[in-house]
Amino acid sequence: MSKPTTPGNSRRRFLAGAAATTGLVAASSFVPTRFAIGAKAPVKIGILLPYSGTYAMLGESITNGMKMRIEQAGGMLAGRAVEYVAIDSEMSVPKAPQNTKKLMSKEKADFIVGPVHSGIAAAMSKIVGARKSPIMIVPNAGHNGITGELCAPNIFRTSFSNWQPAFPGGKVMADDGHKTAVTISWKYGAGIQMMGAGKAAFEANGGKVIKEILMPFPDVEFQAYLSEIAALKPDAVFSFFSGGGAIKFVKDYAAAGLKETIPLYGPGFLTEGVSKAQGAAAEGIRTTLHYAANLDNPANKAFRAAYISAFGDKPGPNVFSVQGYDAGSLLLQGLAAVGGDTGATGDLIAAMESATFADSPRGFWKMSKAHNPIQDIYLREVKDGVNLVKGIAAKALEDPATGCKMG
Amino acid sequence: MTMSRPTMALLLAVLAGLFTFPFYGGEFYVEMMAEMMILGIFAMSLDLLIGFTGLISFGHAAFFGFAGYMLAIVTPESEPIAIWWALPVCLAAVAVAALVIGWFSVRTSGIYFIMITLAFAQMMYYYFNENQDLGGSDGKFISWDPMVAIGDWQLLDLSDLTTLYYVCFGSLIFVYLLLTVMLNAPFGQVIRGIRANENRTRALGFATFRYKLVSFVIAGTLAGFAGFLEAVRTDFANPAYLGWHESGLVMMFVILGGMGTLYGPALGALILGLLKSEMQDYIERVNLVMGFFVIAVVLFLPHGVAGLVERLGRPKATDDGEAAP
Amino acid sequence: MDIATFLIQVLNGVQYGFMLFLVASGLTLVFGIMGIINLAHGAFYMFGAYVVYWLTDYTGSLTLGVLLGLPLVIVLGLVIERFAISYLYKRDHLYQVLLTYGLILILNEAQLEIWGTNFYSVPKPDLLSGSIPLTENLDYPVYRLFISVVCLAIVAALYLVIGRTRLGMMIRAGASDREMAQAMGINISRLFAIVFALGVALAAFSGMIGAPISSVFPGMGDQILIISFVVVVIGGIGSVKGAFIGAMVIGLADTFGKVLVPEFASIVIYAVMALVLLWRPQGLFGKA
């Protein structure tokens, strides 16, 4: 293994990029007025993502992905320079309202990109959704409600709803011939929504969930539950964990010897971006997600090569940087359609609504009426530490968007 | 509590500045100041416990967050609730919670009191975090701000930022005066006696348990008042408001600002909040700087910011100043 | 629950208790002997995990990683004691809380600067990577048993050091009467520096030894901080025996809480702590 790269590198690199852009802007304000009329002010993108704490990796990946996409398009949005203002969300819900308002009323951001955390997403969408602008782009948080009952014209999502990666997973489990299952996750928004969707699909296809385990978030002491699962002897286990919890769950599950007799399924976050750290324990786990590392399309290959050369491979390209990358595409398409006029909110929203993503590393997708991706969900299986695509679990899957009164 | 004249003058100047702030502050800073004043009330309520009664609570945010949930629960989906109902109901609920928790907790002291208050707060945190009817970890929205009206005549529109600012400002002054009056009354003398020497106070014939309990309930209820205002400001309730991170944060305000001074903790909330928000614009690793700042305060400002204010206001130290920690 | 399952859950609870003790032992030491509330304990735990990840990656051996890593964290502990903690001995607990909170902020940022945001794992040594079959479909990892053994060794070592050695005698003297100990010619400031470094080393060591099963990630220290305090307080502050019993109580309560009252799993340990403190306000083995 190579020595750990200092991650400061990648962050400093993008900050340096931002500084250069700002420098450009500063310079332009000294140009004679005749030019200044033609040159427009930069588009301001406010970012609210975690840069510290357990989910800092997600914030870093998303930011890198988005900036990379815009850099690839010349570093401009419809001919206007770009200025980024990033705030560390610290995964703190109490700080979310004020951070959002800082980006809106102090920084006067044209767009707000964020967050990772569902509770923060709810707080933000309450504030942003009540107004016409700015436009908010959610690059991760899967809370079904954001493109459901909380949906709003100026809220878009480039990631997924919790329902999306989980529902096909339940069906896959039934299709693999399993009759009974235990679900296990954390007792918080994403865990509950994903387990609910997986269970619904599993039972609709003839399976039966015999026990639903929801453990306190972010507890990672799984032994008691693993012993319980062993005693229940289900055909399969359906689970959602992410980050450090996912690593530990998968390793503990294998160390308890359960993997041999009770196969593990789940939304792809179980093994996404962490399968290397899980090592042999993750081999053979089948998950469903809107992305996989070895997706055979030119856009994905180009994306991965460019990402690794820009930011290294720790953490390398993953589903989060893809979501950020597509947020960048969404910005490019929207602003191109209105010639960079961020004031034309109505036209801008219409353009973003009809955006299509043919160049996305995850494969083609487009926006639904509720502003959530209509996307393929892939069946993946871990082999040698890599999530390999085994097929498409659900083609052009659209979230039911329950409660959304838009469109 | 006694304040030197220069300090008083400074404080009056600050008050005048705050009073006129909405005219020049701009939307963002006005809203931010409203939040800081709410946190200031929250911090003063904890100062009653830490700085005056000698009870170090590590679960004070439970009352702050609980009040927000109460407002979310009593506000109907379809129409606003009158504040004349909402506020008393929310505060009464918080007071009852504080009474129950205090009844058990004030029997212990020192570090054990710190931990038992944490335990109760964590239990409340997990209750709301896992209660799906109240939105679980995503929290619950409050559809309407409470209505401040007499009959059909609307006195105040709490959804208006400037109005909300003055409500918070007025509340801050009200709570400060309330606590000042209380602390100068015999009750205040007794709880300070408890802080200095509980056994002696008990020997003098005071039922110290009851005094500590009353102090705990008042502090909890005032924290609830702050939480009520915060819920009105943000329009939502979330379990994170009850968590130990919030309890820890408000404790920082109190110690950093200077405990036992009331205005110090409010100042602490303002300084920490402003410092962080402003530094964010220039520095990448804000928390690194905040960490060194906090340590510097401990090492060089033993009485917090209020101690510094007092020292500047009165170059020659006299003995009638702060209650020593 | 049949008897086999019950016994397995007891094993789980006891084993979790061992791990909790490992994490909490340094906290109770620093707390009991120096009277310092060290909120940064979790941050040292995290540092241990990262240091061992980093060194294991270089050397290819967990044992070497631990052996090389311990001196590093001891130096870190000594430096922090010298430049921050040593100013706090005569001050109120509250200032210790504030200062060590500042340390958390700094250490967390330092971790991000040095090792970044990624999640890592540390491989178990080959010798300990096997499993023992318990039932027809459930195995028990040898590494967890190894942790239990290490934990017992530490209990024994702490007991011997504090109870039987000259250093232990000085520690006990310093803890019970600081001025008197000083008058008797004990160099209190050096003694406290040693104790603090030992506390840091224990926190970091538990992070190191736990790394192969817990994985290594930013913010991991925050997750163990509160539960460590719960363990220490239930046992009675400063008592190694108390911390051990407290860890067992919490380990078992947490395990059986999850199985028997799953809806209340999250509050069980706090309810237990509240009950213990109502029954014995100084903890199980604390001095009144």
Q: What CATH number is attached to the domain comprising C237? A: 1.10.3470
My answer on whether A229 and A188 are in the same domain is yes
Torsions phi, psi for C156 (to 5 deg): -65, -45
Q: Are B73 and B228 in contact (CB under 8 A)?
A: no
Q: Report how far residue B97's alpha carbon sits from residue B81's, in angstroms, rounded to the nearest whole number.
A: 22
Q: How far is Cα of residue C65 from the mean position of the Cα atoms in its chain?
A: 19
Q: Are C153 and C25 in contact (CB under 8 A)?
A: no
Q: What b/e readout covers A40-65, taking b as 16+ CB neighbours within 10 angstroms?
A: bebbbbbbbbbbbbbbbbbbbbbbbb
Token pair 């003839």 is found at A206
pLDDT digits (tens, 9 = 90+) for B50-82: 999 999 999 999 999 999 999 999 999 899 999
User: Residue C2: which residues within 8 A CB-CB, separation 6 or more?
Assistant: A231
Computed over every residue of chain B, the mean pLDDT equals: 91
Q: Assign residue A177 a region (left: φ > 0; alpha: ψ between -120 and 50; beta: otherwise).
A: left
User: Residue B189: which residues within 8 A CB-CB, separation 6 or more?
Assistant: none
* A164, HSE (Cβ side, Cα atoms, 13 Å): 31
Q: Report how far residue C124's alpha carbon sits from residue C62's, in angstroms, rounded to the nearest whole number.
A: 7
Token pair 């896959």 is found at A172
User: Residue A251: which residues within 8 A CB-CB, separation 6 or more?
Assistant: A278, A279, A281, C121, C213, C215
My answer on whether A269 and A304 are in the same domain is no
pLDDT for res B3: 66
pLDDT digits (tens, 9 = 90+) for A38-49: 457 899 999 999
A87, A93, A192: residue with CB nearest B280: A87
Cα angle: A256, vertex A262, A266; to 5 degrees: 100
From C136, C106, C94, C120, select the one nearest C44 (Cα to Cα).
C106
pTM: 0.90
With respect to residue A200, please indicate whether it lies within any of the assigned structural domains. yes
Mean pLDDT (whole number) for B171-179: 97
Task: Report the range of poorest mean pLDDT among A13-22, A288-297, A364-373, B10-19.
Answer: A13-22
My answer on whether A141 and A179 are in the same domain is no
Q: How confident is the model at residue A34 (pLDDT cuts 50, 70, 90)?
A: very low
With respect to residue A299, please indicate whether it lies within any of the assigned structural domains. yes
C114 vs A15, residue with greater confidence: C114
Mean pLDDT (whole number) for A353-380: 96
Q: Are A102 and B28 in contact (CB under 8 A)?
A: yes
With respect to residue C250, please indicate whether it lies within any of the assigned structural domains. yes
pLDDT for res A306: 96
From B226's Cα to the closest Cα of chain A, the distance in A is 13
Chain A CB contacts of C121 under 8 Å are 247, 251, 277-279
Q: Report how far residue C151's alpha carbon sits from residue C251's, in angstroms, rounded to the nearest whole number.
A: 14
My answer on whether A147 and A182 are in the same domain is no
Mean pLDDT (whole number) for B202-229: 96
The domains of chain B are located at: 28-146+154-313
Residue A295 is classified by DSSP as: -
Chain C CB contacts of B112 under 8 Å are 233, 277, 281-283, 286
Q: Report how far residue A19's alpha carbon sits from residue A16's, in angstroms, rounded to the nearest whole number.
A: 5
Task: Report the range of poorest mean pLDDT among A45-59, A333-347, B229-243, C183-197.
Answer: C183-197
pLDDT digits (tens, 9 = 90+) for C223-236: 899 899 999 999 98
Cα angle: A258, vertex A262, A266; to 5 degrees: 105
Residue C12 belongs to what domain range? 3-279
pLDDT digits (tens, 9 = 90+) for C89-99: 878 888 888 89
Q: How confident is the model at residue A217 (pLDDT cuts 50, 70, 90)?
A: confident
Name the token pair of A87: 């705030």
My answer on whether A22 and A143 are in the same domain is yes
CB neighbours of residue C212 within 10 Å:
26
Q: Are A246 and A271 in contact (CB under 8 A)?
A: yes
pLDDT for res A15: 40
Q: List the single residue in C with minimal CA-CA distance to A277.
A: C121
**Per-residue pLDDT at A6 exceeds 60:** no
Q: Report how far residue A140's alpha carbon sits from residue A278's, in angstroms, rounded to the nearest whole number.
A: 23
**HEC letters along chain B:** CCCCHHHHHHHHHHHHHHHHHHHHCCHHHHHHHHHHHHHHHHHHHHHHHHHHHCCCCCCCHHHHHHHHHHHHHHCCCCCCCEHHHHHHHHHHHHHHHHHHHHHHHCCCCHHHHHHHHHHHHHHHHHHHHHCHHHCHHHCEECCCCCEEEECCEEEECCCCHHHHHHHHHHHHHHHHHHHHHHHHCHHHHHHHHHHHCHHHHHHCCCCHHHHHHHHHHHHHHHHHHHHHHHHHHHCEECHHHHCHHHHHHHHHHHHHHCCCCCHHHHHHHHHHHHHHHHHHCCCCCHHHHHHHHHHHHHHHCCCHHHHHHHHHHCCCCCCCCCCCC
pLDDT for res B314: 67
CB neighbours of residue A356 within 10 Å:
12
Chain C CB contacts of B287 under 8 Å are 105-106, 108-109
With respect to residue A136, please indicate whether it lies within any of the assigned structural domains. yes
CB contact under 8 A, B246 and A94: yes
DSSP assignment string, A84-124: EEEEE-TT-TTTHHHHHHIIIIIS--SEEE--SSHHHHHHH
Residue A282 belongs to what domain range? 163-289+378-397
Q: Report how far residue C112's alpha carbon sits from residue B201's, in angstroms, rounded to the nearest whole number.
A: 50
**Per-residue pLDDT at B321 exceeds 60:** no
Amino acid at the residue A59: G
C129 vs A152, residue with greater confidence: A152
Share of chain A above pLDDT 90, in %: 78
**Which chains would you list as touching C if contact means 3+ CB atom pairs under 8 Å?**
A, B
Q: Could you tell me if the ipTM is greater than 0.85?
A: yes
Share of chain A above pLDDT 70, in %: 90
DSSP assignment string, C53-66: HHHHHHHS-HHHHH
CB contact under 8 A, C109 and B287: yes
Q: What b/e readout covers C225-246, taking b as 16+ CB neighbours within 10 angstroms?
A: bbbbbbbbbbbbbbbbebbbbb
Q: Report how far residue B174's alpha carbon sits from residue A80's, in angstroms, rounded to the nearest whole number.
A: 50
H-run or E-run covering A182: strand A180-186
**Per-residue pLDDT at B127 exceeds 60:** yes
Q: Report how far residue C276's alpha carbon sits from residue A348's, in angstroms, rounded to the nearest whole number.
A: 61
Name the token pair of C9: 């859950």
With respect to residue C99, please indicate whether it lies within any of the assigned structural domains. yes
CA Rg, chain A, in Å? 21
pLDDT for res A54: 87
Cβ–Cβ contact C116 with A under 8 A: yes
Token pair 């993946």 is found at A380
Q: Report how far residue B72's alpha carbon sits from residue B96's, in angstroms, rounded to the nearest whole number.
A: 18
**Per-residue pLDDT at A22 exceeds 80:** no
pLDDT for res A39: 53
H-run or E-run covering A204: helix A189-204
**Per-residue pLDDT at A32 exceeds 60:** no
Token pair 């008050």 is found at B15
Cβ–Cβ contact C113 with A under 8 A: yes
Q: Are A309 and C111 in contact (CB under 8 A)?
A: no
Q: Report how far residue B81's alpha carbon sits from residue B75's, in angstroms, rounded to the nearest whole number.
A: 6
Q: Report how far residue C95's alpha carbon sits from residue B29's, in angstroms, rounded to the nearest whole number.
A: 31
**Per-residue pLDDT at A14 exceeds 50:** no
- Domain count of the fold of chain A: 2
> B307 forms bridges with which residues in the sheet?
none
Instruction: Give the mutation candidate from B46, B108, B249 for the C interface (greatest C CB count, under 10 A).
Output: B108
My answer on whether A30 and A140 are in the same domain is yes
Token pair 């318990």 is found at C134
Share of chain C above pLDDT 90, in %: 61
Chain B CB contacts of A123 under 8 Å are 139, 234, 236, 238
Torsions phi, psi for A151 (to 5 deg): -60, 150
Mean pLDDT (whole number) for B86-95: 98
A94, A106, A189: residue with CB nearest B138: A189
Mean pLDDT (whole number) for C101-128: 92
Q: Are C225 and C108 in contact (CB under 8 A)?
A: no
pLDDT for res B323: 42
**How are beta strands C139-141 and C131-133 bridged, if at all?**
antiparallel
My answer on whether A146 and A235 are in the same domain is no
Chain B CB contacts of C250 under 8 Å are none
Computed over every residue of chain A, the mean pLDDT equals: 89
CA Rg, chain B, in Å? 20
CB neighbours of residue C223 within 10 Å:
19
pLDDT digits (tens, 9 = 90+) for C247-257: 999 999 999 99
With respect to residue C234, please indicate whether it lies within any of the assigned structural domains. yes
Q: Which fold has domain B28-146+154-313?
A: ABC transporter involved in vitamin B12 uptake, BtuC (1.10.3470)
A4, A53, A230: residue with CB nearest C115: A4
pLDDT for res C193: 93
pLDDT for res A38: 42
**Per-residue pLDDT at B153 exceeds 90:** no
Cβ–Cβ contact C118 with A under 8 A: yes
Share of chain B above pLDDT 90, in %: 73
My answer on whether A108 and A248 are in the same domain is no
Mean pLDDT (whole number) for C207-221: 91
From B198's Cα to the closest Cα of chain A, the distance in A is 37
Q: How confident is the model at residue A407 (pLDDT cuts 50, 70, 90)?
A: low
**Per-residue pLDDT at B20 exceeds 90:** yes
The CATH number covering residue A129 comes to 3.40.50.2300
My answer on whether A15 and A143 are in the same domain is yes
From A167, A165, A183, select the one nearest A175 (Cα to Cα).
A167
Q: Report how far residue B238's alpha carbon sits from residue B125's, in angstroms, rounded to the nearest whole number.
A: 9
Amino acid at the residue C120: Y
Chain A CB contacts of C16 under 8 Å are 221, 223
Q: Report how far residue A103's alpha carbon sits from residue A134's, in angstroms, rounded to the nearest whole number.
A: 9
- Domain count of the fold of chain C: 1
**Per-residue pLDDT at C172 exceeds 90:** no
With respect to residue C287, please indicate whether it lies within any of the assigned structural domains. no
Mean pLDDT (whole number) for A180-188: 95
Cβ–Cβ contact C113 with B under 8 A: yes
